[in-house]
Amino acid sequence: MAKKQPLKSGEKILLGIFGVFFCLAAIGYVVLESVRLTSDKPMFTQTTFFNFSKEGKEGHGYYMKANCNACHRALRSGTSMGLSLDGVGSKRSVDWLEAFLLNPEQVYEGATIDHGFGKEAGRIVSRLSEDKIRPIAVFLSELKAIAGSSVSKIPPPERSEFIDGMVGSWAPEEWKEKYEDVRDRIKREEAEAAEEAVIDAR
Ligand code: HEC
């Protein structure tokens, strides 16, 4: 029988380093899991939500059938090849979504990757009959996100003095004319819509 060779010192050191890493990983895993199981706070805040209308539910059916999921993620299923569509309804209006599906390049004002004439998603959309596009747009517009999440265009309701101060002192002067604070814009748009409603009612 061959004599067992003792480990060389280099091997011992390597084995020791591996052992330390292994133990740290095991301890980390146990700590993480025990915190996760005993904590009453959720690990991740849910930032997207939905409440479907009848047309939206119908649109979800068409969306699933057309296999938009092959590239998009929504409602916890799908892939991340294209954009995640959870919360898209807080960023885009139903009319925007419908217009995008029908004329992606025009709406994007530039080249698209997959939507558009002759492209993969474009072909899928063009095979859908026209009465299905609107319900799909309605379905997408009902995928909402809470204000302040990365998929919402509305910032969180509370103001940050620090950020306001930084913008106030560092933003170039011309930005103040060029851009409008999105919170002021939302207020202005709401006021305008209310005014229009009053005029329409007359
Ligand atoms: C082959 C992959 C693919 C498929 C299939 C696909 N998409 Fe897309 N989608 C994309 C990509 C990529 C973009 C980004 C725009 C672009 O470059 O085409 C996008 C963008 C979008 C947007 C715009 C989102 C935004 O906020 O700008 C919507 C809405 C959308 N897709 C809906 C759909 C629907 C509905 C279907 C099914 C009928 C579908 N997509 C099928 C890849 C795909």
Q: pLDDT tens digit string along 15-24?
A: 999 999 999 9
Is there an atom of ligand 1 within 6 Å of 84 CB?
no
Which of 64, 62, 83, 56 lies closest to 72 in space, CA to CA? 83
Q: Is the pLDDT of residue 2 over 70?
A: no
Q: Which two tokens stand for residue 114?
A: 């997959």
pLDDT band of 145, cuts 50, 70, 90:
very high
- 58, 72, 144: residue to mutate for ligand 1 pocket, most atoms within 8 A of CB: 72
Average pLDDT, the chain: 90
Taking a C-beta distance cutoff of 8 angstroms, is the pair 53, 142 a contact? Answer: yes
Ligand 1 atom nearest the C-alpha of 140 is 29
* Distance of alpha carbon 145 from alpha carbon 149, whole angstroms: 7
**Residue 136 near ligand 1, beta carbon < 6 Å:** yes
